[in-house]
Amino acid sequence: MKIIYTPQENPVEGREEIDADLTSLFVGEVKLLEKTLKMTFQEIGEQLERGSATHLMAVVWIYRRRHNLELRIDDMDDVMRLSELEIKVDDDEE
């Protein structure tokens, strides 16, 4: 799955592509997701498949956190609009 973020205010320089392969997450990132969302990794994956915006933003947060360890999940609430996100599913994931 690829998550593409294109902010309205800065669509060229602000564009981000996140190659969100959940199997590439580090164990510590998975543990942090599970602790934050109070769900198992499998349950998180199921919620993503169902289209949960909460779980989608949690995945974006984990990838962004790699560059800013101070970033909290609540910091994501007023940063991105749902309309600025595009989800591309790999052919083998469908």
Spatial distance between the Cα atoms of 25 and 46, rounded to a whole number of angstroms:
16
Measured in degrees and rounded to the nearest 5, phi and psi for residue 4 equal -115, 120
DSSP string, 25-90: S-HHHHHHHHHHHTS-HHHHHHHHHTT-HHHHHHHHHHHHHTT-TT--GGGGTTT--GGGEEEE--
How distant, in Å, are the alpha carbons of 6, 7, 15, 65 from that of 45?
A: 24, 26, 25, 19
Per-residue pLDDT of the chain (94 residues; tens, 9 = 90+): 899 999 999 999 999 999 988 899 999 999 999 999 999 999 999 998 898 999 999 999 999 999 999 999 999 888 899 999 999 887 665 5
* pTM listed for this prediction: 0.84
Residue 94: the pLDDT is 55
